[in-house]
Structure 1
Amino acid sequence: MGACALLTDANISSGLESNTTDITAFSMPGWQLSLWATAYLALVLVAVTGNTTVVWIILAHPRMRTVTNYFIVNLALADLCMAAFNTPFNFVYASHNVWYFGRVFCHFQNLFPITAMFVSIYSMTAIAADRYMAIVHPFRPRLSAPSTKAVIAGIWLVALALAFPQCFYSAITVDEGATKCVVAWPEDSRGKSLLQYHLVVIALIYLLPLLVMFITYSIIGLTLWRHALPRHQVHGANLRHLQAKKKFVKTMVLVVVAFAVCWLPYHLYFILGSLQEDIYCHKFIQQVYLALFWLAMSSTMYNPIIYCSLNHRFRSGFRLAFRCCPWVTPTEEDKLELTPTPSLSMRVNRCHTKEILFTAGDMATSEVTNGKAGCPRGE
Structure 2
Amino acid sequence: DIIDDKIVQAIFCLLYTSIFVLGLFGNILVCYVVGRNRAMHTVTNCFITNLALSDILLCTLAVPFTPLYTFLGRWIFGNALCHLVVYAQSTSVYISTLTLTSIAVDRFFVIIYPFKPRMRLATCLAIIICIWSFSLIATIPFGLFMDHRSIAGRFYCEEQWPSEIFRQVFGGTTAIIQFVLPFIVVTFCYVRVSVKLNDRARSKPGAKTSRKEEADRERKKRTNRMLIAMVTIFGVSWMPLNLINVLNDLYMQTGTWTYYHLCFFLSHAVAMSSTCYNPFLYAWLNDNFRKEFKQVLPCFGAQTGPQASGRLGNWRSERTCNGNETCQETLLPTSVVISTTKPSPPLLNAIVSSNLGGGGTDRGARLRSTDSVEVVLVAYTAAEDTVHIDKLDKGAIDAQKNHPFQVV
TM over 0.5: yes
Is contact 2:87–2:140 with CA below 8 Å preserved after alignment?
Answer: yes
Match of 2:241 among 259, 266, 274: 266
Compute the TM-score of the two structures, normalised by the length of structure 1.
0.77
Q: Distance in 2 between matches of 1:219 and 1:336?
A: 40
CA-CA distance at 1:87 after TM superposition: 1.0
Does the CA contact (< 8 Å) of 1:47 and 1:301 recur in 2?
yes
Larger deviation: 43-52 or 94-103? Answer: 94-103
1:331 counterpart letter in structure 2? Q
Matched, 1:281 2:277: no
Higher alpha-carbon deviation: 106-115 or 313-322: 313-322
Distance 1:58 1:167, change over 3 A: same
Q: CA deviation at 1:339?
A: 3.3
Residues 127-164 of structure 1, C-alpha deviation per residue, up to 9 Å, x if partnerless? 11211221111222221111111010001101111111
Contact kept? 1:224, 1:246, Cα under 8 Å: no
Asked if structure 2 preserves the Cα contact closer than 8 Å seen for 1:217 and 1:249, the reply is no
Query: What's the counterpart of residue 317 of structure 1?
Result: 292
CA RMSD across the alignment: 3.4
- Distance, in Å, in 2 between the alignment partners of 1:107 and 1:29 is 29
Structural mapping, 1:54-93, within 5 Å? 54-93=30-69
How far residue 230 of structure 1 moved from its aligned partner, in angstroms, is: 0.7
| Separation in structure 1 between the aligned mates of residue 378 and residue 76 of structure 2, nearest angstrom | 53
Residue identity opposite 1:346 in structure 2: V
Note the 1:360-371 alignment, pairs <5 A.
362-364=384-386
Q: What is the CA deviation profile of residues 245-282 of structure 1, one whole-angstrom value per residue up to 9, with x for unaligned ones?
A: 98567535523321210111111112111222222134
Match of 1:330 in 2: 302
Match of 2:337 in 1: 346
1:182 CA drift (Å) = 1.7
Aligned length: 336
TM-score (norm 2): 0.72
Cα contact 2:90–2:142 (8 A) shared by 1: no
CA shift, 1:58, in A, is: 2.2
Contact 1:241-1:364 within 8 A present in 2 as well:
no
- Among 292, 295, 319, the residue aligned to 2:267: 292
Q: Which amino acid aligns with 2:274?
A: S
SS at match of 2:138: helix
Report the CA distance between 1:365 and its aligned residue: 7.4
- Cα deviation digits, residues 46-69 of structure 1 (max 9, x gap): 100111112222222233221111
Match of 2:404?
A: none
The question of 1:204 aligning with 2:177 is answered yes
2:85 is matched by which residue type in structure 1? Q
CA distance in 1, matches of 2:126, 2:182: 19
1:346 Cα deviation from its structure 2 partner: 2.1
How far has the Cα of 1:29 moved from its partner? 4.3
Note the C-alpha offset of 1:110. 1.9
- Name the residue aligned to 1:16: none
Q: CA offsets per residue over residues 265-316 of structure 1, 9 Å max, x none?
A: 1111121112222221345433222222111111111122334663333333
1:177–1:234 distance in 2 versus 1, CA, 3 Å: farther
Hey, what does 2:166 align to over in structure 1? 193
Inter-CA distance 141–287: structure 2 relative to 1 (3 Å threshold): same
| Larger deviation, residues 86-95 vs 56-65 | 56-65
Compared with structure 1, are the counterparts of its residues 197 and 36 closer, same or farther at alpha carbon in structure 2 (3 Å cutoff)? same
More divergent stretch after superposition (45-54 vs 118-127): 118-127
Distance in 2 between the 1:340 and 1:26 partners? 59
The answer to whether the 8 A contact 1:82-1:113 is kept is: yes
Is the radius of gyration larger for structure 1 or structure 2? 2
Give percent identity, aligned residues only. Answer: 23
- Structure 2: how far apart are the matches of 1:205 and 1:337? 43
Report 1:115-126 matches (<5 A): 115-126=91-102
Contact 1:111 1:167 in 2 (8 A): yes
> Could you tell me whether the CA contact under 8 Å between 1:79 and 1:120 is conserved in 2?
yes
C-alpha separation in 2, matches of 1:337 and 1:209:
40
